[in-house]
Chain A
């Protein structure tokens, strides 16, 4: 079995958010990590490898620095790494990103593609399903459990109040939730081995069956009109009222904020 796992290097927005004195994000000071949902996807692939035997290829698109997440993936046990990097691919939205990744994956053999549900920087959850559309294969999003049955996968697909047990014929794309598993750690020796291996680097010219009009900033249908950092809040209002007034005050505020 051949498994392709898509991973993204992201700023650590959960633990390592750093602010400038004016309350804006200090991006330069933030550490980068392997996106948690992607890491769960990789772990799922590695478990399938442990259980059924598989070759796991990790693909990432990003700046040359994104090589680090491929090394990390290989130190965890992935077999191969592919870095898709090119100036013309920069500034891509999810449409252009998924077009690019699909163009790279067309060069690879795969039975299964696993992506994270969403990245913690963009939180869109779009790239996985869009890749599956470009490759014309089924998608099962929000996987909380993955099993192989012959030439099919059986996946527990999570919804808000239920899950579906879904069976799909391979090749198939699955998007993984970080709740899917507890990803393994790298090993010290695995790290040094990972740096001894070759990483495949592909540019625009290596992408298969993609149109320039669908790549990078130019090929992105969505355009950013405005972006700003949310300024960290300080003290809000403080009131001294009698109990009934206090209650109405809180209820009103909760209404304004759509809590109720």
Chain B
């Protein structure tokens, strides 16, 4: 493998039902940074059936070039034809970096392709940067420059590892959704669009899709919720939980509560967080009007981000909160909901 032959940052531009997934734009945003550091350009690989028209969108989000693999076999995602398409693109165009979203598609496609083209793959990355490998020069070992350094959590988020793929190309990574930033779209931007079809001959690896069932959203178990808006006795009354529910709704989150709330009969037991309730670990935990007794904290301290709102500045909840706000929840929460609503609308 002549590593020098491999050039350019490539992104698998995932589409579902001929609609480009948000992750594709996020990857393009990151790819642009990496390409700048490497003094190269960004290529999106668009795979599907009747998807050519989507290329302009990819250009607007930063693709310099779009390779389109368009074939009826690629209508709905199936591992084999997609892996064949992407592996063929890699073999023909020889990218130095290949980014794939860590989605239910990407986490199936990525490993299959990496095994086919015989390279490494780092899963679920949260940070990507260009640097040296080894990070510090080691006597007797050549320090390689311009390597893709891929950082990812492991051990259930308890450890962080930075990984390189120094002797194989492309350097492949799947990237967690929602972590990388898309660029502000450049209206009217055009990319160099190239069509490529490696030929698709169904074999034993082509599975048959019998049915596609789109799911309807159900009520979320608080243990599965990504965002929890949790209220305590400080909320004041069962009726006043409405302001928490509004906040949760704006963020696509779920309402939970402390033991005091369950004991008062305001909320059912299955929403209780804490030692005698459920242990939760959402991305964001809002502790609103919760003092933070250890019995409560034991059930939520592993949350990624803890935002606490409490009028008592000495409340123990502030000992575990990342962002503590001392103040009246009745004044802050409704305004927060409105502000977030505006922010989210603006981002769309």
- Whether B322 contacts A237 by the Cβ 8 Å rule is yes
- Whether A230 contacts B157 by the Cβ 8 Å rule is yes
- B162's partner among A120, A123, A225 (CB-CB below 8 A) is A225
Is A134 at the interface (CB under 8 A from chain B)? yes
Question: Which residues of A sit under 8 angstroms from B110, Cβ to Cβ?
Answer: 126
Q: How far is the CA of A135 from the CA of B328 in the complex (A)?
A: 62
- A238's partner among B103, B204, B211, B321 (CB-CB below 8 A) is B321
Q: List the B residue with the shortest CB-CB distance to A154.
A: B210
- Whether B305 contacts A167 by the Cβ 8 Å rule is no
- Whether B215 contacts A161 by the Cβ 8 Å rule is yes
Most chain A beta-carbon contacts within 10 A, residue among B77, B155, B209, B305: B155
- Whether B154 contacts A123 by the Cβ 8 Å rule is yes
- Whether A129 contacts B108 by the Cβ 8 Å rule is yes
Q: How far is the CA of A250 from the CA of B305 in the complex (A)?
A: 11
- B321's partner among A94, A228, A235, A244 (CB-CB below 8 A) is A235
The A contact surface, by secondary structure, is mixed
Q: List the B residue with the shortest CB-CB distance to A117.
A: B107
Q: List the A residue with the shortest CB-CB distance to B318.
A: A238
- Whether A243 contacts B121 by the Cβ 8 Å rule is no
| CB-CB contacts below 8 Å: B19-43 with A | none
Q: List the B residue with the shortest CB-CB distance to A226.
A: B162
- A139's partner among B112, B120, B165, B320 (CB-CB below 8 A) is B112
- Whether B215 contacts A163 by the Cβ 8 Å rule is yes
Question: Which residues of B sit under 8 angstroms from A229, Cβ to Cβ?
Answer: 158-160
A162 with B161: in contact, given A141-B108, A238-B326, A240-B327 (CB under 8 Å)?
no
A97 to chain B, nearest CB (A): 11
Question: Which residues of A sit under 8 angstroms from B336, Cβ to Cβ?
Answer: 246-247, 250-251
Q: How far is the CA of A105 from the CA of B287 in the complex (A)?
A: 50
- B111's partner among A94, A120, A169 (CB-CB below 8 A) is A94
Is A28 at the interface (CB under 8 A from chain B)? no
- Whether B327 contacts A260 by the Cβ 8 Å rule is no
Question: Which residues of B sit under 8 angstroms from A110, Cβ to Cβ?
Answer: none
Is A224 at the interface (CB under 8 A from chain B)? yes
* Residue contacts A-B, CB under 8 angstroms, 16 given: A93-B120, A121-B154, A121-B155, A123-B123, A123-B154, A124-B121, A129-B111, A129-B112, A138-B80, A168-B208, A221-B119, A221-B168, A222-B121, A237-B322, A241-B327, A247-B332
- B324's partner among A129, A238, A259 (CB-CB below 8 A) is A238
Question: Which residues of A sit under 8 angstroms from B115, Cβ to Cβ?
Answer: 95, 98, 129-130, 133-134
The B contact surface, by secondary structure, is mixed
- Whether A243 contacts B339 by the Cβ 8 Å rule is no
Q: How far is the CA of A226 from the CA of B159 in the complex (A)?
A: 11
Contact bitstring A146-172, B, C-beta under 8 A = 1, else 0 = 000000001000111111111111000
- Whether A243 contacts B327 by the Cβ 8 Å rule is yes
- Name B's A-contacting residues (CB within 8 A): 16, 76-80, 83, 103-105, 107-108, 110-112, 114-116, 118-124, 133-135, 149, 153-168, 178-179, 181, 204-215, 227, 251, 283-284, 305-307, 309, 313, 318-328, 331-332, 335-336, 339-340, 343-344, 347
Is A227 at the interface (CB under 8 A from chain B)? yes
Is A65 at the interface (CB under 8 A from chain B)? no
Q: How far is the CA of A225 from the CA of B181 in the complex (A)?
A: 24
Question: Which residues of B sit under 8 angstroms from A93, Cβ to Cβ?
Answer: 120
- B251's partner among A121, A154, A169, A259 (CB-CB below 8 A) is A259
Contact bitstring A194-227, B, C-beta under 8 A = 1, else 0 = 0000000000000000000000000011111111
Q: List the B residue with the shortest CB-CB distance to A126.
A: B111
Question: Which residues of B sit under 8 angstroms from A158, Cβ to Cβ?
Answer: 104
- Whether B340 contacts A258 by the Cβ 8 Å rule is no
Q: How far is the CA of A163 from the CA of B104 in the complex (A)?
A: 10
7 extra interface residue pairs, beta carbon distance < 8 Å, beyond A141-B79, A162-B212: A14-B156, A126-B114, A163-B213, A239-B326, A240-B327, A253-B307, A260-B340
- Whether B215 contacts A223 by the Cβ 8 Å rule is no
Q: How far is the CA of A8 from the CA of B324 in the complex (A)?
A: 41
A235 to chain B, nearest CB (A): 5
- Whether B79 contacts A129 by the Cβ 8 Å rule is yes
Q: List the B residue with the shortest CB-CB distance to A233.
A: B322
Is A137 at the interface (CB under 8 A from chain B)? yes
Question: Which residues of B sit under 8 angstroms from A142, Cβ to Cβ?
Answer: 104, 108
- Whether A246 contacts B111 by the Cβ 8 Å rule is no
Question: Which residues of B sit under 8 angstroms from A17, Cβ to Cβ?
Answer: 155-156, 158
- A250's partner among B160, B205, B307 (CB-CB below 8 A) is B307
- Whether A221 contacts B104 by the Cβ 8 Å rule is no
- Whether B208 contacts A226 by the Cβ 8 Å rule is no
- Whether A240 contacts B326 by the Cβ 8 Å rule is yes
- Whether A13 contacts B156 by the Cβ 8 Å rule is yes
Q: How far is the CA of A99 from the CA of B208 in the complex (A)?
A: 27
- Whether A166 contacts B324 by the Cβ 8 Å rule is no
Q: How far is the CA of A169 from the CA of B202 in the complex (A)?
A: 13
Q: How far is the CA of A162 from the CA of B325 in the complex (A)?
A: 39
Is A248 at the interface (CB under 8 A from chain B)? yes
- Whether B284 contacts A236 by the Cβ 8 Å rule is no
- Whether B164 contacts A228 by the Cβ 8 Å rule is no
Q: List the B residue with the shortest CB-CB distance to A236.
A: B322
